[in-house]
Structure 1
């Protein structure tokens, strides 16, 4: 989650700031606000659900659902690669604990309990917040959206031996060999989807998503795969260049697999088909896991490639937005849940409610960020660096 750091001048892999990745990080987390605002207005269970749903919104969100989190994990893994160019492993571990563990603990104690309280209220509880708060720790607090931060922290610390190995001469030679093979025969790039496909086939049926770190092995491994992929791609400039050159092809593969995915899960594409024909088509596209694996890889790498190809400028707006991303992430869902809860009695329709929830979440998160960034004691609680002495 902490922002990417500029590489050292003259670094063997890259000697310039990857502004495309910076902007991609900002846009990915901006999309998250829209996505979480929409989660209340689809049929999938979430922290809070409005009785009004939109099938059109659900169809759009289903597409983004397959690759939005892998993209964020990939960006986070790339951030580790950039961070290690400026820090020793010990400094890196300390930075991760400060920037991830402290905000996580703060969120569990302060910013997340209101979400759990609203859940209790929607299930008929009449407790006041003061009465509710001790009960939260009796039953165990829920990480809500901050599960992502906990997973990134674990990936970062557990991955230190791997990062060490890949930074060695043998590791550099191995990565160089991998990139050479990919450059010689680019279709090998799609084999990078195999680990995620295997997770879907063998782990998802046994371990459904819990977001609690333990007994969440399918989700844990899926995030880890894209986190490590981001680290590998950002560790070798030629890998980044290869993805950038093949961005259009990757996009077309992603969109084609999205079509197959919708068909495989029985959307309107196969409505009216005989049962045998639907089963045959599902087998032809490998059930759900083959198209989703390629859909995810294709879209994530395509978006990365287009960002690198077309975004080359930084500036004060990017610096400001990059700093705002983490505080926005920490506070945004609590605001979303509160706004959605306040609008439950209204019957103004899904789209107006969605627009209000998204707008209020953005404005509320921005106001919190503007307040936090000015207070030295609050900055570390929201993952911000210390203010430099003037």
Structure 2
């Protein structure tokens, strides 16, 4: 991709999505239920954090799958099938294997130590579970993606572009996700990790993310034009959910999709321009996410026992996590073997190179 058609807004969405995931994971440590899903939690809980967490929870993971599908669109433009799978293997499978056997067990050691449990080696994909999903999606959908990429003047792609040039064209996409939630009946809806709900929801988001990128300017102009409508719908549905506590699954789907569509619209309208900050963060986001749980748990280990208010603990853990992650990233990006193990290219990309989206 040349600098003239590079999509900086998609780079920004990816950075923002991973940043929100980190923020969400820090906030879990201040919820009383965090221990039940394997997090270190403080005795000084901050329950009101749940309101913004609940807003994020229905769309933070689906957004990442949408963006990952877009990333594959850009990746396969100059690659054949073999080259795509090799590149995705280096980018996804190597970090997944390293994370499963080295990094996740590290933060599990900290968790066991904090709760005075017997230390044991616990290999698991942990927070990197979605990488396995993405590789499977690429493998299954790559023939379809290559067909669509190479037949952009055909009836299928042209029909899709026409459909996605209007807001009504999004209704079939929303309907697919509604069908998924009806058939799978996830409880709770927000449980994505290593569940069939997470797999099928991610599969749909990944596929449609590719379609959005393939659709070109007509889709992005539409999504930018109607961004406020999507934001209003999502906000109204969120307020309804918070007040009623439980809502039907189809309303969660509509809310989730509208949040995501609004993010795409605002990013396209305001973030599609280069910056040195974006160049740095785009390369850092993936390695930072890989190591963040170990850093978060270490910070929690030292900060949660302190006799200070929960908001102060939150700020300290947040600072510790972000600073620690970027310190480790600075080490990773300077050592070729670490770059390889964390899914980065051997040499730092040039100024005009495309950042890789998982």
Is TM more than 0.5 here? yes
1:159-198, aligned counterparts within 5 Å?
A: 159-169=141-151, 172-183=154-165, 186-198=167-179
Would the alpha carbon gap of residues 74 and 388 (structure 1) be closer, same or farther in structure 2, given more than 3 Å must change? closer
Greater Rg, structure 1 or structure 2? 1
- Determine helix, strand or coil for the equivalent of 2:337: coil
Paired residue for 1:142?
124
Alignment partner, residue 254 of structure 2:
294
Residue deviations 1:280-322, cap 9 Å, x none? xxxxxxx431221111111101111111111232133221111
Residue 351 of structure 1 is matched in structure 2 by: 311
Unmatched segments (≥5 aa) in structure 1 = 1-6, 10-14, 267-286
2:283 paired residue among 323, 327, 336: 323
Q: Distance in 2 between matches of 1:307 and 1:375?
A: 33
Among candidates 247, 255, 259, match of residue 235 of structure 2: 255
**Which deviates further from its counterpart, 27-36 or 199-208?**
199-208
Q: CA deviation at 1:38?
A: 0.5
Alignment partner, residue 103 of structure 1: 95
Whether 2:234 is the aligned partner of 1:306: answer no
2:212 to 230, 233, 239: 233
1:203-222 superposed matches below 5 A: 203-205=184-186, 209=191, 211-212=193-194, 216-222=195-201
Distance 1:171 1:258, change over 3 A: farther
Question: Are residues 43 and 223 of structure 1, via their aligned partners in 2, closer, same or farther at CA, if it must alter by over 3 Å?
Answer: farther
Provide the residue aligned with 1:62 in structure 2: 54
2:182 is equivalent to residue 201 of structure 1? yes
Are 1:36 and 2:25 matched, yes or no?
A: yes
Structure 1 residues 311 and 170, CA gap change in structure 2 (3 angstroms)? closer
Q: TM-score, normalised by structure 2?
A: 0.89
| Aligned residue pair count | 345
More off after superposition, 37-46 vs 371-380: 37-46
- 2:63 pairs, out of 43, 47, 71, with 71
User: Is the CA contact (8 Å cut-off) linking 1:192 and 1:297 kept in structure 2?
Assistant: no
After superposing the two structures, state which structure 1 stretch, 363-372 or 309-318, moved more.
309-318
Displacement of 1:198 after TM fit? 2.3
Q: Determine the structure 2 residue equivalent to 1:12.
A: none
Counterpart CA distance in 1 for 2:63 and 2:210 is 12
| Aligned partner of residue 378 in structure 1, secondary structure | helix
